[in-house]
Amino acid sequence: MNSAPSLAVVVPFFNEERNVWEVCRELRAVLDRELSASEVILIDDGSSDRTGANLDEVAVRWPACRVFHLGENQGQSAALLFGFGRSIAPVIVTMDGDGQNDPRDIVRLLPLLEDADMVVGVRVERQDSWMRRRISRVANSIRSRALGDGVSDAGCGLKVFRRAVVGAFIPIRTLYSFMPALAVGAGFRVIETPVNHRPRRNGTSKYTVHSFLLLPILDFIGLRWFRSRRCQVPSLQPRAAHAAIVTLGEELYRRGLRRWMRLATLGVVICLIGFGIILLPREGRTSRPIGLHRAEQIALHDVPKGRVGSAELSMQEDRLIWIIDVQPPAAADLHEVEIDARDGHVILARTESAEEEAREVAAEEHRPLPKNNLPR
């Protein structure tokens, strides 16, 4: 590059061999068209597949990017911190390497830095599983209230911030979820804006219960204490101030973890017990019947690409049952699905001929069938 870059895009990859080319192709198209004075830092976080080799091939064809390989998997936060240290641009962009972030949103987020130090994307139509979205929503609500960052989706991989904000980060494994809270705690202004979120096309999520639930709980407790004990150093020059923040933050964080480890363990046990009580079925419990829309979804799942016909809610043997007719594609016969209205499980699914359907309709209308519709 002939001049210093004005923007650095840091993208960590871990076992994403099938996503590397598409992610880099989309990112390059946006940067070449809108943000040519940019540097791109691609990090192979100790992948065991061809992710590293694919990244090297991308670098050969794309001079604006640099590829770094970590010897073993260090985690997303460590990879991001490594990338921050290798960048020189005054503005940094982070995004995930799984292809769910849309690089076109970068162009929309950058102008918002005129009134803020960090802009965080919000996945308003998040393309993840129901359970993951639910846990994330609860965790974001608790974190935002307790740490006061005012952010509703801190785990979104798409973030844009000034280089000075990096000095507020401390090296914890769940840093990607606590960047806004640490930035706010250091006196930086953080705002959020909706961004596009796409379904994962290839590969599988790298998050587990350990990384998605347990580690954030432990780090949340440590950061809650760190926030209450943090001091500001306004008299230092910016660079020296950020160095002091990092050093102080590491020490306070270690003390907080040691002090609250036993309490955190107890809290985790209580949370797991609570989840078990909520999720495990209980004998004799009553629940609100599932609605028609949910019943139709279950029926369509049993008959893919079908078309919903009539629906009926009836009482059979002291239990409510949805009876949904589904017309399979390119088939004359109907598929009748009986669904338990309490828990949504399919009781019975059978194929119903056109003659049987006509006979049922006639019986319901209390009129005889036309002669030409009677079965032979």
Domain boundaries, the chain: 7-203, 292-373
The two structure tokens encoding residue 175? 């840093």
What pLDDT does 247 receive? Answer: 46
Classify residue 110 as exposed, middle or buried by CB count within 10 Å of its CB (0-12, 13-18, 19+): middle
What pLDDT does 49 receive? Answer: 94
Whose tokens are 């004075």? That residue is: 37
The total of other beta-carbon atoms located within 10 Å of residue 300's CB is: 16
3-state SS assignment for residue 107: helix
For residues 118 and 91, what is the distance between their CA atoms, to the nearest angstrom? 10
For residues 200 and 197, what is the distance between their CA atoms, to the nearest angstrom? 9
Residue 282 DSSP code: -
Please tell me if the domain spanning 7-203 has the same topology as the one spanning 292-373: no
The two structure tokens encoding residue 275? 């989840």
For residues 27 and 23, what is the distance between their CA atoms, to the nearest angstrom? 6
What pLDDT does 342 receive? Answer: 82
**Domain spanning 7-203: CATH 3.90.550.10:** yes
For residues 143 and 177, what is the distance between their CA atoms, to the nearest angstrom? 9
pTM: 0.56
Whose tokens are 């088939």? That residue is: 331
Contact between residue 164 and residue 80 where contact means Cβ atoms under 8 Å apart: no
What pLDDT does 232 receive? Answer: 56
Beta sheet of 38-45, edge-to-edge order: 65-70, 38-45, 7-13, 91-94, 159-162, 118-123, 190-195
What pLDDT does 291 receive? Answer: 83
The total of other beta-carbon atoms located within 10 Å of residue 299's CB is: 25
The two structure tokens encoding residue 183? 């930035």
pLDDT per residue rounded down to tens, the chain (376 residues) = 457 899 999 999 999 999 999 999 999 999 999 998 899 999 999 999 999 999 999 999 998 899 999 999 998 999 999 999 999 999 999 999 999 999 999 999 999 999 999 999 998 877 666 566 666 666 666 666 667 677 888 889 999 999 999 999 988 888 878 899 889 888 899 999 999 988 877 766 655 444 445 556 666 666 665 666 555 544 334 444 444 444 444 554 555 556 666 677 777 778 878 777 776 655 444 456 788 888 888 888 777 778 887 788 888 777 888 888 888 877 777 778 888 888 888 888 888 776 666 666 666 555 554 444 434 4
What pLDDT does 238 receive? Answer: 44
What pLDDT does 95 receive? Answer: 96
Strands (E), 27-158: 38-45, 65-70, 91-94, 118-123
The two structure tokens encoding residue 344? 């949504």
Contact between residue 213 and residue 248 where contact means Cβ atoms under 8 Å apart: no
What pLDDT does 225 receive? Answer: 59
**What is the fold, at CATH topology level, of the domain defined by 292-373?**
Nuclear Transport Factor 2; Chain: A, (3.10.450)
For residues 205 and 207, what is the distance between their CA atoms, to the nearest angstrom? 6
3-state SS assignment for residue 118: strand
For residues 107 and 196, what is the distance between their CA atoms, to the nearest angstrom? 13
Q: CA-CA-CA-CA torsion for 368, 370, 373, 374, nearest 10 degrees?
A: 50
Sequence-distant (≥ 6) Cβ neighbours of residue 47 within 8 angstroms: 13, 14, 15, 16, 17, 73
What pLDDT does 1 receive? Answer: 45
